[in-house]
Structure 1
Amino acid sequence: MEELIVAFSVSALLIAACLYLHFKALRNGARIISELGAGVRRQMLLVMTMIFLTHLLEIVIFAIAIWAMAHNGVGSLSGAHTSTVADFFYFSIASYTTLGIGDITPEGPIRVVVGIEALTGLLLIAWSASFTYLTMERIWAPETD
């Protein structure tokens, strides 16, 4: 029961951290892009780069949390290779994007965190898609005199 409480607590902290990070990245990115006044191509490249790096950082945050839980005996990962940092990063990418390849599987309380990662990733990817659409609509809109 104690391990389950740890998993729910870690999940809540990860959700809060990722939502805050995503909000700040999109908010600051929008401000920088509007002040930049560069061409459409440069603005869109900046938007997409910022979004990609933000998602990558969120994946790393989840990977570190899953690694820490596994190394402290609060669940584990089993499957092909689960001993290196790269394996935890790979597993986190598959979970965050809801790809769920299945060659590595979570066991024990880590399953809660992995499920939350999938839900969080889905939410944040949709948020990024919406932000990208709104940015494109704003910068590609015809100029009015």
Structure 2
Amino acid sequence: MTAALRPATRADLPAVLALIAGEDRVVDPAAVEVTEAHERAFAAIDADPRNEVLVLDGPAGDVIGCLQLTYIPGLGKGGAERALVEAVRVRADLRGSGLGRTLMRAALDRARARGCALAQLTSNKHRTDAHRFYTSLGFHPTHEGFKLPL
């Protein structure tokens, strides 16, 4: 399947939210409520040069994959910038078709072109298929992550 990666626009927000909601099923973007909080978050991401949501368009022009890249300057690694990869999703009925690999490779190429020295991500401990996928891309489980709701 041919797919094209591009920066998301406001018009893509329902499709992106449907992908995020559709962890194990296909969700119709028309059924997704785009809240004011979503609007504010997307506007902030879109205005920030260190942040981008990327979408993967299918042959019919529909959004079939997405992820968010955040570029983080740091004092470690010799002051190198790193890329944080989040919200990686491929439409449930298209998983296993190589689109996730296409999406991630394109995102990593963008991070390299920007000069990032490292890409990092977190993945829910229960998503063992995702862990195998990330390992197949060369990621290593080097750290234990912690979260605290605020």
Give the TM-score range, shorter chain.
Answer: under 0.3
- Work out which of the two has the higher radius of gyration on C-alpha atoms and give 1 or 2: 1
The structure where strand makes up a greater share of residues is 2
Question: Could you state the TM-score of these two structures normalised by the residue count of structure 2?
Answer: 0.26
The structure where helix makes up a greater share of residues is 1
Question: Could you state the TM-score of these two structures normalised by the residue count of structure 1?
Answer: 0.26
